[in-house]
Chains A and B, each alone.
Chain A
Amino acid sequence: MIGDRILGVVLLLLAVVYGWEAAMFPEPFGGSEAVGPETFPLILSVVLGLSSIYLLVRPDEDEEWPHMKMLAELGFVLLILAIFTLMLQPVGFIPATTLMVGVLCWRMGAKPLPSVFTGVGSAVVVYVLFNFLLELHLPAGLLKLSGG
């Protein structure tokens, strides 16, 4: 119940802001037309607004939401993916991938040693496959520096 109510409020806000912005669009060059840049967004805004009011009035049963600990866990997974992205170009594909795949395996319940093994293995295989077989160049990062 509460989940859908919150969703309803968020969507209603979104609909209003989205519609408001559409109404504020400057008139296109060459004068207004029957369907301007704002027409379609305004229709969407109305449809979404009405649907979100329905959700507020008649919410569904809630799905069980995970506890704080699990939410932190999921947040950590997203963070790992972000760190992977951050490391990719400066540090290189192989270290970034080893870290990402290794940590994900570990968080999914694998023991540390097989996790590291999967991380290194998948990093090297994908790197070789892409750079040499498919000729799509992934960032070498530090490896390139040390190799001259």
Chain B
Amino acid sequence: METLNFLLQGFAVALTPENLMFAAIGAILGTVIGALPGLGPANGVAILIPLAFSLGLPASSALILLTSVYAGAMYGGRISSILLNIPGDEPAMMTCLDGYPMALKGRAAEALAISAIASFIGSLLATVGLVILAPILAKFALRFGPAEYFALFTLAFATLGGITGKNQVKTVVAACLGLMIATVGVDITTGNQRYTYDILELYEGVDFIIAIVGLFAISELLFFIEMHAGEGFKKVSLNKLNLSMKDIIQVLPTCLRGSVLGFIAGVLPGAGASLGSFLSYTMEKKIVGKSGYFGEGDPRGVAAPEAGNNAAANGALVPMLTLGVPGSGTTAVLLAMLISLNIQPGPMLFTQNAELVWGVIAALFVGNLILLLLNIPMIGIFVKLLSIPPKYLMPVVTLVASVGIFAISNSPLDLYFMIGFGLLGYLLRKLHIPLVPVILGMLLGPEMEKSLRHALTISDGDWTILWSSGLSVGIWAVAIAGLVLPYLIGPVLRRRMAAAQDKDHSIVD
């Protein structure tokens, strides 16, 4: 059992007092980020990267901190779904369906506790899945040559819009913009300057951390101002928790089914946490729907999507760690963290940086346990956070983001870049151009070009090498399917998701 050995070593890394502290801080910060209005997980992790970076944390501690934030944000997102019927982030959408009716019936505390338990089971099982699947996939990925990698990067972009994506061309546009930004600077292989216009600051290229913070955090501020969303939500109160062992046992099978489905959705390209929670909810309703009262506050309707989206969030780490190809916005931001720590994800990560990677995986187990312990007794504190009005919160968040960027190299120019990217992010979002492919393009651009170069050097300039092996043909086929399928299946799925939401609203009205 080689894997178990590695995992034990990982626990040795994760259980040092210092790293335990980082996991706890990350878990708290993550829950806060998930719970606060207007701070999604990708946004929150993005703001924290420059801070972790300029503090000079060792790679393992920085990663443990940020993966705990990531896990915590998934917990936090459900709080406003249940109490206010407003999903804190997109994957928490399905939790509104039964969570809010439960809250209306005066069982908000039970809904929160059940969702915390379901989140715990989902994350736990998915992390076990990650431990089993990641080394296998990493071994398999060693057979990938540069041609396969080039195809794989294309696949990552093609499936990023997700199966429910609306306009695939806009995903392509976004990816192109990101890749184009990545070409700015001195070309590593030939030493040629590209698009630098003799500006010294551009020689090293555009720093993607600045771009990420600008695109997410600053554009979010602009959106809040435009929508006059400064006032925030009404105050909410919690009832006293009254949960018996029987209630927990009742939702256990639901959690197990939701976790498996969610994990699969997370690992597969183009599905992601939103689809994971949607599928778990729908399946649960089909299986036990008749005996329950779904849509009217059935605890199983809370457990299913929560187990699903937390499992999917951990499942999404599998392709990110083993192939270096993230499948979602937040994992893209985690990839940015890895690259800026000079760690190249991919199959070699598991051999070259075994201690680091297993430390992070062990930290997921630890962080998850901390989150469960945190979320049941301390839920009242997190609930209070919901009533912080954004008019005070957003300026302070903007400040923290700016300070982080400034601290990287004490350069005001970086801040001007951040503001510029904020404007760009606002315009792109207004035009429905997704931001995640832009970021992924900036991150993957250099690697993608490098694999194209290697492939064509091997073949002596013959372009057919890109689709000459069975493996690469397979990857290309999936990529094309990922780009075309949303046009066929997307409208149907979107309608179903919308229908589920409408039904929910009719109950509320």
Q: Mark B438-464, 1 if CB is under 8 A from A, else 0.
A: 000000000011001100110111000
A-B pair number, CB within 8 angstroms:
162
Q: Assess whether B231 is interfacial by the CB under 8 Å rule.
A: yes
Structural contact, B173 and A36, CB atoms closer than 8 A:
no
Starting from the known contacts A37-B187, A101-B395, 16 additional A-B residue pairs (CB-CB under 8 Å) come to A29-B191, A35-B457, A40-B179, A40-B183, A40-B452, A41-B183, A55-B173, A60-B170, A63-B430, A78-B222, A78-B419, A85-B415, A101-B399, A104-B221, A109-B228, A130-B407
Q: Which of A28, A40, A100 contacts B191 (CB 8 A)?
A: A28
Closest residue of chain A to B187 (Cβ to Cβ) is A37
9 closest A-B pairs by CB: A34-B461, A28-B190, A104-B395, A108-B391, A109-B230, A108-B230, A48-B176, A37-B192, A85-B415
**Which of A100, A134, A136 is B399 in contact with, Cβ under 8 Å?**
A100
- Residue ID in chain B nearest A30 by CB atoms: B190
- The answer to whether A97 touches B432, judged by C-beta atoms less than 8 angstroms apart, is no
Give chain A's interface residues, CB within 8 Å of chain B: 3-4, 7, 11, 14, 18, 21-22, 25-26, 28-30, 33-37, 39-41, 44, 47-48, 51-52, 54-55, 60, 63, 65-66, 70, 73-74, 77-78, 81-82, 84-86, 88-89, 97, 100-101, 104-105, 107-110, 114, 118-119, 122, 126, 130, 134, 136, 138
CB neighbours (8 Å) of B433 from chain A are 7
B419's partner among A26, A51, A85, A97 (CB-CB below 8 A) is A85
Question: Bound state CA distance, A35 and B449, in angstroms?
Answer: 9
Whether B492 sits at the interface, judged by CB under 8 Å, is no
Contact indicator B396/A101 (Cβ below 8 Å): yes
Task: Tell me, in angstroms, the Cα distance from A2 to B339 when the chains sit together.
Answer: 39
Main secondary structure of the interface of A (DSSP, over half): helix
A residues in contact with B406, CB < 8 Å: 88, 138
Is B179 within 8 A of A74, CB to CB?
no
A70 to B395: give the CA distance in the assembly, Å: 18
- Min C-beta distance of A92 to chain B, whole Å: 13
| In the bound complex, CA of A30 to CA of B391 (Å) | 58
> Which residues of B are found within 8 Å of A7, using beta-carbon distances?
431, 433
Query: Among A55, A74, A119, which residue has its beta carbon within 8 angstroms of that of B169?
Result: A55
Chain B residue contacts of A97, Cβ below 8 A: 399
CA–CA, A52 to B231, complex, Å?
39
Residue numbers in B under 8 Å from A126 (CB-CB): 399-400, 403
Cβ contact of A3, chosen from B167, B169, B431, B449, cutoff 8 A: B431
Does A66 contact B226, Cβ atoms closer than 8 Å?
yes
| CA distance in complex: A70, B494 (Å) | 32
Contact with A along B41-78 (1 / 0, CB 8 A): 00000000000001100000000000000000000000
Which of B183, B190, B419, B426 is in CB contact (< 8 Å) with A44? B183
- A77-B221, A105-B391, A109-B230 known; A44 and B180 CB under 8 Å? yes
Shortest Cβ distance from residue B204 to the other chain A in the assembled complex, whole angstroms: 16
Q: How many residues of B contact A (CB 8 A)?
A: 63
Q: A105-B392, A114-B392 are known contacts. Are A63 and B432 too (CB-CB below 8 A)?
A: yes
* Cα(A29)–Cα(B192), bound, Å: 9
In the complex, B258 has a CB within 8 A of chain A: no
Residue pairs across A and B with Cβ atoms less than 8 A apart, 15 shown, are A3-B430, A34-B456, A37-B187, A37-B190, A40-B452, A44-B179, A60-B166, A60-B167, A77-B221, A77-B222, A78-B422, A101-B395, A104-B395, A105-B392, A138-B406
CB within 8 Å of A: which B396-422 residues: 396, 398-400, 402-403, 406-407, 412, 415-416, 419, 422
- Give A4 to B170 CA distance when docked, in angstroms: 10
- Would you call A73 and B225 a contact (CB within 8 A)? yes
Interface status of B218 (Cβ within 8 A of chain A): yes
Contacts A11-B173, A104-B395, A109-B230 given; does A85 touch B416 at CB 8 Å: yes
Given contacts A100-B399, A109-B391, contact A39 B452 (CB under 8 A): yes
Check: B479 CB closer than 8 A to any chain A CB: no
Q: Which of B9-63 contact A (CB under 8 A)?
A: 54-55
Give the CA-CA distance A26 to B192 in the complex, in Å: 8
A35-B452 contact in complex given A28-B191, A89-B412, C-beta closer than 8 Å: yes
Let me know if B390 is at the binding interface, CB within 8 A.
Answer: yes
B140 at the binding interface (Cβ < 8 Å): no
In the complex, whether B224 has a CB less than 8 A from a CB of chain A is yes
Residue on A with the closest CB to B177?
A: A48
> Contacts A11-B173, A29-B191, A34-B461: A78 and B423 contacting too (C-beta < 8 A)?
yes
- The answer to whether B402 touches A81, judged by C-beta atoms less than 8 angstroms apart, is yes
Partner of A85, one of B169, B176, B412, B449: B412
Is B392's CB under 8 angstroms from A118's CB?
A: yes
CA–CA, A119 and B433, complex, Å = 34
Question: Looking at the complex, which one of B192, B221, B399, B459 makes contact with A25 (CB distance below 8 Å)?
Answer: B192
B364 adjacent to chain A (CB < 8 Å): no
Is B176's CB under 8 angstroms from A44's CB? yes
Does B144 interact with chain A (Cβ within 8 Å)?
no
- Do residues A40 and B449 form an inter-chain contact, with CB atoms below 8 A? yes
Instruction: Report the separation of the CA atoms of residues A54 and B483 in the bound assembly, to the nearest whole angstrom.
Output: 15
CB atoms of B218 and A81 under 8 A apart: yes
Which of A39, A40, A97, A100: most chain B Cβ within 10 A?
A40
Is B505 part of the contact surface with A, judged by Cβ < 8 Å?
A: no
Q: Are A33 and B457 in contact (CB under 8 A)?
A: yes
Question: Which residues from B are CB-within-8-Å of A34?
Answer: 456-457, 459-461
